[in-house]
C-alpha cells in the first residue's frame, strides 16, 4: 500500500508530504518538531512544523483515525469549538518496509494550553472555576448538537484565555458519537464521566502539590455537574416568544448573566407563531465587557453598564439581515456595532432633553434607559419599547433629579 494523505484542503497534502512519514513518530528528528506543552495521552502525539503551521500528529489505528477525523469535521460544521482535523495519513512504511501506524493530523490550537500547564501552582480558585464553567459550556453545546463525548475530561480539553474570555475546546473525539438527539440517559452518563474524571485529575494535581490548597477536587468535580445542569435548563427551556415580548428575551439573558454566563451569540428566527431564540453562552473574566464595548463602539462605561449595553447590542444585531456570526460574508461585528451606535444608541440618548441629561454621560443615560425599559416591560407584561421608555424615564426619573 502506498502512502496516502486524505486531507480537508488541497494545500495540506503538499506541506504534509515533507514530514518523515517513514519514521515512527517517537523517533522523529528534532528539525521537524516543535516543543509545546502537551497533555497526557495513551497514543504518541507530537507537534510538528508543516508549511507555515504547527500541527499535532497522533499515531492511532486506521479505523480510529478515520472515525475521529470525520467526527472533528462534523463538529467543525456544527461550529462547536474543537481542534481542526487536517488529514489522515495511511500506508506508512518504515525503512525495512515494515508497516507503521496511521496518523491523525490536527491543527495546533494557537494559544491553548493543556490543563496541567494551566492549572498548575498559582492559578487562583476563581480562575479554575471560570475554566470549569467554560468546560460546562462546551459540554452543553456538544449535547445540544447531539454529540455524546463519552470521555469528557480535562486532558481531553484544551483551554484558551483570550482577552478576558475563557473557552474550552474538545481535543479528543475518539470516543464520541454524533446523533440527531441525545437521550437524557446519554447526557447524564457524559456528565457523570466528566465529574469523576475531573475530580480524579484535580486529585492528581493535588498529589503532586500543584493545586491551589483551597481547591477541593471532589467539590470542583461536582461543580461541573451543577453548572452543566443549570446551563442546560436555562438554554433548553421554552423559547418561542410572541412578537412584542422582547422583554422575555431580556429576562433570559439576565438569567444567564445571573448564573455567571454571558451571551456570545443569539439567533432569532421569525415565524408566524413567534420568535424562536437560541443562545450560545460564553464565560468571561471581570472587566471583559468594558474592554469589549470600548473596542466595538468606542463607548467607555463601567463594567455592569457595559454588559447591559452589549446585551442590547447583541439582541439588536440578531435582528439584522446581514448578521451571520462566523460567516465571512456576513457583516463584521464592528460594522454592526457602528450602525447600532448611529441608528439606536445616539438617537435614543438624543431623545432625552439635554438640559435634563446634565452632566450624566451618554453610556450611563442609555444604561438607565435599558434598566427602566426592563422595569416597565416587566410591570406591563409586554415590551414597552424604547420610545415609551424615554418618555416615562424623562418624566418620572430625570425631572425629579437635581441636574446641571
Ligand X SMILES: Nc1ncnc2c1ncn2[C@@H]1O[C@H](COP(=O)(O)OP(=O)(O)OP(=O)(O)O)[C@@H](O)[C@H]1O
Kindly list the residues in this chain that would bind ligand X in the complex (CB under 6 A).
Answer: 38-39, 41-43, 45, 56, 58, 83, 106-109, 112, 114, 155-156, 158, 171-172, 174
Q: Which helix (H) or strand (E) holds 230?
A: helix 217-236
Q: How do 165-170 and 157-162 pair as beta strands?
A: antiparallel
- Least distance from C-beta 180 to Mg ion, angstroms? 26
Which of 171, 51, 149, 56 lies closest to 103 in space, CA to CA? 56
Tell me if 156 contacts Mg ion by CB under 5 A: yes
SS3 of 8, please?
A: coil
Q: How do 157-162 and 177-178 pair as beta strands?
A: unpaired
Report what 112 binds from ligand X, Mg ion, none; CB cut-off 5-8 Å by kind. Answer: ligand X
Mask for 163-182, x = binds Mg ion (CB under 5 A) = ---------x----------
Residue 41 vs 222, nearer CB to Mg ion: 41
Report what 312 binds from Mg ion, ligand X, none; CB cut-off 5-8 Å by kind. Answer: none
Residue 83 vs 363, nearer CB to Mg ion: 83
- Least distance from C-beta 153 to Mg ion, angstroms? 7
The grid coordinates listed for 321 are 439581515
Q: Which of residues 22-51 bind Mg ion (CB under 5 A)?
A: 41
- Least distance from C-beta 201 to ligand X, angstroms? 11
Please report, to the nearest 10 degrees, the dihedral formed by the alpha carbons of residues 147, 150, 151, 157 taken in order. Answer: 0
CA-CA distances (angstroms) from residue 59 to 28, 102, 106? 12, 6, 12
The residues that bridge with 275 in the sheet, in sequence order, are: 241, 270
Report what 45 binds from ligand X, Mg ion, none; CB cut-off 5-8 Å by kind. Answer: ligand X
Residue 41 vs 79, nearer CB to Mg ion: 41
- Least distance from C-beta 282 to Mg ion, angstroms? 24
Tell me if 314 contacts Mg ion by CB under 5 A: no
∠ Cα 106 112 115 (to 5°): 110
- Least distance from C-beta 41 to ligand X, angstroms? 3
Which of 63, 69, 158 lies closest to 111 in space, CA to CA? 158
Residues at the contact surface with Mg ion, assessed by CB under 5 A: 41, 156, 172
Amino acid at each position: 500500500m502506498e502512502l496516502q494523505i486524505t486531507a480537508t484542503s488541497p494545500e495540506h497534502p503538499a506541506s504534509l508530504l515533507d514530514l518523515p512519514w517513514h519514521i515512527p513518530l517517537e523517533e522523529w528528528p528534532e528539525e521537524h518538531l516543535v516543543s509545546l506543552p502537551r497533555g497526557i495521552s495513551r497514543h504518541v502525539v507530537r507537534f510538528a512544523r508543516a508549511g507555515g503551521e504547527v500541527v499535532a500528529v497522533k499515531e492511532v489505528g486506521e479505523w480510529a483515525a478515520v472515525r475521529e477525523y470525520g467526527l472533528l469535521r462534523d463538529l467543525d460544521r456544527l461550529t462547536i469549538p474543537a481542534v481542526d482535523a487536517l488529514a489522515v495519513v495511511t500506508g506508512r512504511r518504515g525503512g525495512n518496509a515494515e508497516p507503521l501506524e496511521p496518523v491523525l493530523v490536527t491543527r495546533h490550537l494557537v494559544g491553548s494550553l493543556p490543563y496541567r500547564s494551566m492549572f498548575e501552582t498559582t492559578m487562583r480558585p476563581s480562575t479554575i472555576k471560570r475554566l470549569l464553567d467554560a468546560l460546562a459550556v462546551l459540554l452543553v453545546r456538544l449535547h445540544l448538537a447531539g454529540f455524546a463525548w463519552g470521555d469528557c475530561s480535562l486532558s481531553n480539553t484544551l483551554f484558551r484565555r483570550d482577552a478576558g474570555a475563557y473557552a474550552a475546546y474538545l481535543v479528543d473525539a475518539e470516543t464520541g458519537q454524533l446523533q440527531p438527539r441525545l437521550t437524557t440517559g446519554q447526557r447524564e452518563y457524559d456528565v457523570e464521566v466528566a465529574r469523576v474524571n475531573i475530580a480524579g485529575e484535580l486529585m492528581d494535581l493535588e498529589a503532586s502539590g500543584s493545586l491551589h490548597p483551597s481547591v477541593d477536587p471532589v467539590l470542583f468535580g461536582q461543580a461541573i455537574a451543577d453548572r452543566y445542569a443549570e446551563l442546560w435548563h436555562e438554554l433548553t427551556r421554552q423559547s418561542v416568544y410572541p412578537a412584542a415580548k422582547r422583554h422575555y428575551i431580556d429576562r433570559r439573558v439576565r438569567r444567564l448573566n445571573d448564573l455567571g454566563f454571558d451571551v456570545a451569540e443569539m439567533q432569532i428566527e421569525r415565524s408566524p407563531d413567534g420568535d424562536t431564540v437560541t443562545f450560545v453562552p460564553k464565560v468571561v473574566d471581570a472587566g471583559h465587557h468594558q474592554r469589549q464595548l470600548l473596542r466595538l463602539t468606542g463607548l467607555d462605561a463601567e463594567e455592569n453598564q457595559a454588559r447591559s449595553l452589549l446585551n442590547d447590542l447583541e439582541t439588536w444585531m440578531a435582528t439584522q439581515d446581514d448578521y451571520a456570526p462566523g460567516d465571512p460574508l456576513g457583516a463584521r461585528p464592528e460594522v454592526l456595532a457602528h450602525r447600532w451606535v448611529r441608528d439606536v444608541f445616539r438617537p435614543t440618548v438624543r431623545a432625552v432633553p439635554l438640559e435634563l441629561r446634565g452632566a450624566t454621560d451618554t453610556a450611563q443615560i442609555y444604561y438607565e434607559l435599558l434598566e427602566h425599559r426592563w422595569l416597565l416591560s416587566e410591570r406591563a407584561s409586554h415590551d414597552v419599547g424604547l420610545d415609551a421608555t424615554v418618555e416615562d424615564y424623562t418624566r418620572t426619573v430625570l425631572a425629579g433629579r437635581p441636574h446641571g
